[in-house]
Structure 1
Amino acid sequence: MPHHDVLHLIRDALDESARVKLALRELAPDVARVSGRIADAFRAGNRLYACGNGGSACDAMHLVEELVARYKRDRPGLPAHHLLDAATLTCWSNDYEFGTVFSRQVETMARPGDVLVAISTSGNSPNVVRAGEAGNARGALTLGLTGRDGGQMRALCAESLVVPAQATERIQEGHITLIHLICELVERELFPQSVLPA
C-alpha cells in the first residue's frame, strides 16, 4: 500500500472515531440515568454481571475490573462479575450449546435487583439476547450496550445505550468510552468523599 494511502486510511479512521465520540454527547442524559440506577443497585446490596462475545467480552471484563478494583478513586470494591470464565463457557458449550452459555449463568446467579450489562455491537448476538431475556425473567436491571439501530436488545433491555455508528470497531470504541463514564459516575455517587490517588 502506498505511503499516502496509509496516511489517508489512518486519518479517516481517526476522524470517524472522533465523530462517533462527539455524537455520544446526545446520550449524556441516558448515561447519567443508567449510572444512577447502577449506583442504586450497588447501594442496595445488589451485584452487577456483564457479558459479550469477542471484543465485547473484553469490554465486559474491562467494566468489571474497573468496578472491583477501582476506576479513579481509592474506595471499597464493588461486587461485579463477568460471565466469561473459560471452564464454565467451554463446559456448557461442549455439553449443551453456545447459544445459552450466558443465560444459563444469569439464571443461576442473578437475583432481583441485580444488574446485567449485555454487550453486543449489533444488538442481535443470540447468546447475549438470551442473557437479556434471562435477566428480565430474574428481575434484574438489564442494560444493553449496542450499536447501529440497537437490534433486538434495544426493545428487550430495560435500558439501552446505542452507539450511533455502523462499523464494529467504531461501536466498540464508543462502548469503552461509555463504560469509563459509567464507572466514573458510579464512583462519584457512591464514594463522594474518597480521594483521587496522587
Structure 2
Amino acid sequence: MRSWLSEYLVAQHRALDSIPLDGVEKLIDTVRQAWRDDRQIFAIGNGGNAANASHFATDLGKGASDKTGKRFRVLTLADNSAWLTALGNDYCFDDVFLRSLQNYAKAGDVLIASSVSGNSPNLVRAFEWAGQNGLHTVALVGAKRGRLAEIAGQTLVIEDSHYGRVEDAQMTILHMLCYAFMDGGAA
C-alpha cells in the first residue's frame, strides 16, 4: 500500500506541475474585470466538479468578497436540485445549465466550467449558448481536452486523465483564483 500511495503522490505532483500559470493569471484578470464591471460569474460542472463549482462560489462569494470589500456576483448552477431536476425532466439533462443561463446570464458575464473529459453534453451546450450570447467562457479540462477546449474562449489543461488528480488540480486553480483576491492583492 505504501508504494501505491507514494506513486499516487508522484502522479499528483505531475498533475499540479502541469497547471498553466499564464492561464491562471489570465483567468484572474478575467474575473477581476467581471468584478470591476459588476458582472455575474457562473460556475458549472458535474459530479466532483459540481462540488468544486460550489466550493469555488463559496470561496469567491464569501471569502474574497469579505477581503476586498466589494461583493463578487458568483453563482454555481449545479446547487439547486429542484431547478436542475425540473429542467432535466421537462426538457433534457443536456440543457440544465443552458436553460439556467438563459434565465440569468447577460453578455459580458463569465462562465467557468470544470470537466475532466471536456465532453459533457450539458457543459458543451452551455458553452455553445454562452459563446453565441457574448459571455466570456473558461474551461478547466483534463488531458483529453474534449469539445470544451475547442469552443472555450480560454482553456486551462491539466495534463492527466485520472479523474481524482485532475479534479484536485482544477480545485487548486480555483483556490489560486480566490486567494489571489484574498491574500495576493489581485484587487
State if a TM-score over 0.5 links the two structures.
Answer: yes
SS at match of 2:174: helix
Distance in 2 between residues matched to 1:47 and 1:72, nearest whole Å: 13
The letter of the residue matching 1:17 is Q
Distance in 2 between residues matched to 1:60 and 1:19, nearest whole Å: 23
Q: Could you say which structure has the larger radius of gyration? A: 1
Pick one of 114, 130, 135 that aligns with 2:130. Answer: 135
Pick one of 114, 117, 121 that aligns with 1:122. Answer: 117
Whether the 8 Å CA contact 2:64–2:72 is kept in 1: the answer is no
Distance in 2 between residues matched to 1:139 and 1:186, nearest whole Å: 25
Shift of 1:186: 4.1
The letter of the residue matching 1:143 is V
Of all paired residues, the percent bearing the same amino acid is: 29
**Is 1:88 aligned to 2:78, yes or no?**
no
> Equivalent residue for 1:45?
38
Moved over 4 A (4+): none
CA offsets per residue over residues 107-152 of structure 1, 9 Å max, x none?
2211111000011111000001111111112211000011113111
The letter of the residue matching 1:78 is F
Whether the 8 Å CA contact 1:72–1:184 is kept in 2: the answer is no
Superposed CA RMSD: 1.5
Shift of 1:46: 0.4
Closer, same or farther: CA 100–110 of 1 in aligned 2, 3 Å: same
Distance in 1 between residues matched to 2:161 and 2:115, nearest whole Å: 13
Q: Give the gaps of 5 or more residues in structure 1.
A: 1-5, 191-198
- TM-score, reference length from structure 2: 0.93
- TM-score, reference length from structure 1: 0.88
SS at match of 2:140: strand
Distance in 2 between residues matched to 1:19 and 1:73, nearest whole Å: 33
Pick one of 161, 167, 170 that aligns with 1:172. Answer: 167
Whether the 8 Å CA contact 1:67–1:80 is kept in 2: the answer is yes
Pick one of 28, 31, 44 that aligns with 2:21. Answer: 28
Shift of 1:72: 9.6
The letter of the residue matching 2:164 is E
> Equivalent residue for 2:186?
189
Distance in 2 between residues matched to 1:20 and 1:13, nearest whole Å: 11
The letter of the residue matching 2:106 is R
Distance in 2 between residues matched to 1:101 and 1:141, nearest whole Å: 19
The letter of the residue matching 1:174 is A
> Equivalent residue for 1:3?
none
Whether the 8 Å CA contact 2:124–2:147 is kept in 1: the answer is yes
CA offsets per residue over residues 19-62 of structure 1, 9 Å max, x none?
211222xx111111121111011101101001110001011111
Distance in 1 between residues matched to 2:118 and 2:65, nearest whole Å: 30
Shift of 1:71: 4.6
> Equivalent residue for 2:72?
78
The letter of the residue matching 1:189 is A
